Amino acid sequence: MRELLFCLIYGFAVITYFIGFTVLHNGSRKNRIDRLYFLSAIFSAGWSLFIGLVLIQTNTDMAALMRAIGVFHIFGQLICITDLLVYWSDVRSRVKRWSVSFVRIGVILYPFMIQSKNVIFEKTAYGMSFRMKPGIWSAAYTVFCMVVALNLLLLIIHMLRRSIRKREKIIAYALMLCVFIVGFGCALDTMMQMAGVAAVPISAIGQFAAQMVLYRIYQFYNKSRVTLENMSEFVYYSVDEPVFLFDEAEKLCIVNNGATAFLGMSAQECCKLRLSDIFALDRDAFRFQGNKNRVEARCWQNNNICSVSIDKIYDDYRDIIGYIVIVHDVTERVRMLESLEQEKLRADKANEAKGVFLANMSHEIRTPINAVMGMNEMILRECEDETILEYAGNIQDASRTLLVLINDILDFSKIESGMLEVIEEAYSLRALLKTLKTECNMRAENKGLDLIFDVPQDTPNILLGDEVRVRQILLNILTNAIKYTMKGSVTMKVSYHKVKEREVEITFAVTDTGIGIKKENIDRLFGKFDRIDEEQVHAIEGTGLGLSIVDKLVHLMHGTVTVDSVFGEGSTFTVCLRQQVIGEETVGILSEEKKRKERRKDIPVFVAPEAKILAVDDNKVNLTVIKALLRKTKVQVTCVETGKECLEHAAKEYYDVILLDHMMPGMDGIETLEALKQMSDNKCKDAAVIALTANAMAGVREMYLEKGFDDYLAKPIEGTVLEQLLMRYLPTEYIIKNEGAG
């Protein structure tokens, strides 16, 4: 009888161990339910095993040891069952803490339950049996078991009350059955012991039955919940993207609904295909390192362009057993990109054509202006008739205004096309402000305006920035203020504050007492080709581009420009620019610039009778202008109209400077310069070659210097500028300066 009962209980333990380790192997160790059930099965199996081992013992000490280990498993089983019910019932945190804590605290009974003085062992017909002696610990253990059972029942009742789905109610009732089975077995054992009868291990048999019910609950729960495994199947068939599963031989095995719709075939027809029947793919597409490969391919069935993602599928031994292929139809995207690329090419060509057009326009407009201004300067130099001089002065003013308008249009086009760059160099703020005051003083005086510059003496003088663009910004604002002010004054106030150790933010505020701007028109102020209050300012010259250029230049230099205006009273334009400070020098007192003595019109800056210059230009008027502008310098000027003639003269005679026009028919200026450098009989190898051009686009100067020219002179040519340029390149021993030139 003893051996039979032991074999029965031992069999229960083996079965429970097997189930527990099966769950551990097949389940997820990260899943709480899987972990708790595994521990529950292990404790249940241990309970059965060690209680069974008590039956076959003949020594009470060994029986006591086996019982102690078995009782330990009982407590572990109770903790696992409670945790499972707490998790499934989803109770609130306070009840959850009480339920779990009570079972864990109950472990303190364990040492007293295994003491030999509290347990009676006796041999019976079916083996070694035991019972607890009546007393405080026996009563405490009985109460503990009853409270645990009641607690479990309350958790199950809570689960039933909150259950909405049918599967949750089934789980709750099954758990209630488990509790009743275990409770019945333990109660029967306890009552037999209280009656003084050595109990048969009914509790061990009951807990095995309860464990089998719990295992069925676990299986039912896993089937009813959405797991990653069954969810992946739902996702696989529900995604719109075509998904193909190939075996290791690249034969199609499974397709989803997206794939059948993509190919226009049924699933059975699709599975007859191989990889090469679907995509025009390189044979090495499946021969790649790593786990993923992405290639572009064309589908044979519909001629669509696809982005194909290929993932390897491995078995438990890391052998490749197949491939999962996800297809993204990128036909529309590719066509759109091709369309955008074509649009970009067209835009680039249009931009290039605009650049060529602007360069040609610059050349075509500046060439006649050069003739007009050059000839007009000769009249101003040589004529004595006051009436004619007045006419010539008006022509000069109109020509300069026309040149400003052309420069505005070209500058705006450079900025719009992104061809304008900020070039930072060290410059003197004092010199810049003096130059601005000198340039604007005459305009202000002609209108009877006071031009005031308010500059703190401690303002840093040597700054790092683009002096040309800073000057252009301030000159535009100053001339604009003078233009729209009929009486009163124009004031430039300069201030600064330190941003960093060697960086300052300089503020230029230009205030006028002019016509002002209406509040609703301020937002339109920096628009291109937009003039505010046209009916009021129609008589004032301008294109409406000046302030637009200022706005774009300021933002190109990461600065700000703001306007504050009262209509009829005046306006204030404020420009803030950040500049690096070099050295400790300050602006100091910005003294009044002494009016230069009016240079006698018949006295040049220098004379150089021995100097020889070769002027090359296909426009005879331009040659006449150059010759006339240099007449008083007594420089020997030879004029030719083609590059070929330039080469011939360079082979015959030495010239100190060659003024070489760029745009010439036949051989242009750059080709002529290259030919000059390659000539073996060139007598002018040491001569300075200066490019003459009417092209004023961005980067022109750098382009000419890169091509080998020594300098660059833009048309229209001013006599003083030409003289100053020649002074830098003519031999110093030839030059005799005229002090009377001023």
**Tens digits of residue pLDDT in 450-493:** 999 999 999 999 999 888 788 888 988 998 899 889 899 999 99
pLDDT band with cut points at 50, 70 and 90 for residue 596: very low
Give residue 612's pLDDT: 94
Distance CA 70, CA 45 (A): 10
For the domain that residue 319 is a member of, what is the CATH number? 3.30.450.20
pLDDT at 199 over 60: no
Asked if residues 267 and 255 have their Cβ atoms less than 8 Å apart, the reply is yes
pLDDT digit string (tens) for 379-388? 887 787 888 8
Structural domain harbouring 364: 343-413
546-556 and 467-483 helices cross at what angle (nearest 10)?
150
Spatial CA neighbour of 675 closest among 651, 653, 710: 651
Instruction: Determine, yes or no, domain membership for 589.
Output: no
How would residue 539 be classed by pLDDT, with cut points 50, 70 and 90?
Answer: very low
> Do 369 and 510 fall into the same domain?
no
Residues 45 and 186 in one domain: yes
Provide the β-strand partners of residue 325.
244, 310
Does residue 592 lie within any of the structural domains? no
| Structural domain includes residue 89 | yes
Question: Residue 529: is it exposed, middle or buried by C-beta count within 10 angstroms (0-12/13-18/19+)?
Answer: exposed
Same domain, 566 and 611: no
**Are the beta carbons of 513 and 475 closer than 8 angstroms?**
no
pTM as predicted: 0.43
Convert the pLDDT of each residue in 649-667 to its tens digit. Answer: 999 999 999 999 988 888 9
pLDDT tens for each residue of 343-377: 888 887 877 777 667 666 766 777 788 778 878 88
Q: What are phi and psi of 500, to 5 degrees?
A: -135, -175
CATH number at residue 477: 3.30.565.10
Percent of the chain whose pLDDT exceeds 90: 16
Answer yes or no: do 320 and 442 share one domain. Answer: no
**Residues 654 and 697 grouped into a single domain:** yes
Residues 148-156, mean pLDDT to the nearest whole number: 79
pLDDT at 229: 47
Amino acid type, 179: V
Give the model's pLDDT for residue 573. 92
- Residue 315 gets which letter from DSSP? -
State yes or no: pLDDT of 540 exceeds 50: no
- What Å distances lie between residue 402 and 333, 386, 396, 628, 663, CA to CA? 50, 24, 10, 23, 22
Higher pLDDT, 10 or 708: 708
Contact 125, 1 (CB under 8 A): yes
Would residue 588 count as lying in a domain? Answer: no
If one counts the domains in the chain, the total is: 5
Instruction: Please indicate whether residue 550 or residue 301 has the higher confidence score (pLDDT).
Output: 550
292 CB-contact burial (10 Å; exposed 0-12 / middle 13-18 / buried 19+): exposed
CA distance 728 to 27: 91
CA dist., res. 243 & res. 401, Å (int) = 71
Q: What is the mean pLDDT of residues 306-311?
A: 83
pLDDT reading at 600 higher than 90:
no
- Look at 33 and 637; give whichever has higher pLDDT: 637
Instruction: Give strand pairing partners of 128.
Output: 123
Residue 32: the pLDDT is 75
Q: What CATH number did the domain enclosing 727 receive?
A: 3.40.50.2300
Q: Does 655 share its domain with 696?
A: yes
409 and 270 together in one domain: no
**Mean of pLDDT values over 30-52:** 79
CB 649 within 8 A of CB 687: no
Q: Quick check: 404 pLDDT over 70?
A: no
Q: Euclidean distance between the first and final Cα of the chain, in Å?
A: 138
* Average pLDDT of span 174-187: 75
Chain-centroid distance, C-alpha 360: 39
Mean pLDDT on 557-561:
90
Distance, CA of 234 to CA of 252 (rounded, Å): 20
Of 271, 303, 329, the one marking the end of a domain is: 329
Does residue 528 surpass a pLDDT of 60? no
Q: Per-residue pLDDT for 415 more than 70?
A: no
546 located within any domain: yes
pLDDT at position 71 is 81
Would you say residue 334 lies in a domain? no
Determine the pLDDT at residue 419: 59
Residue 200's pLDDT band, with cuts at 50, 70 and 90, is low
Name the band, by pLDDT with cuts 50, 70 and 90, for residue 283: low
Select the more confidently predicted residue: 5 or 278.
278
What is the mean pLDDT of the segment spanning 570-585? 91
Q: Is there a single domain that holds both residue 122 and residue 211?
A: yes
Task: Return mean pLDDT, the chain.
Answer: 79
Q: Is 597's pLDDT higher than 60? A: no
- 595 — pLDDT class (breaks 50, 70, 90): very low
Tell me: do 190 and 307 sit in the same domain: no
pLDDT of residue 248: 74
pLDDT classification of 598: cutoffs 50, 70, 90:
very low
* pLDDT at position 730 over 70: yes
Is 621 found in the same domain as 500? Answer: no
Residue at 593 is within a domain: no
End residue of a domain, out of 196, 225, 254: 225
- pLDDT of 525: 73
Residue 262 contacts residue 329 (beta carbons within 8 Å): yes
Of the listed ranges 129-143, 352-366, 610-624, 725-739, the least confidently predicted one is 352-366
For residue 597, being part of any structural domain is answered with: no
**What pLDDT, on a 0 to 100 scale, did the predictor assign at position 35?**
79
- Which of 418 and 456 is assigned the larger pLDDT? 456
Tell me: do 142 and 65 sit in the same domain. yes
Rounded (5°) CA angle 701-702-708:
95
**Higher per-residue pLDDT: 473 or 418:** 473
Q: In terms of pLDDT, which residue wins out, 216 or 538?
A: 216
Task: Using the predicted structure, report yes or no on whether residue 338 has a pLDDT greater than 90.
Answer: no
| End position of a domain, from candidates 564, 581, 598 | 581
Query: What number is the average pLDDT over the span 603-617?
Result: 90
Same domain for 186 and 134, yes or no, is yes
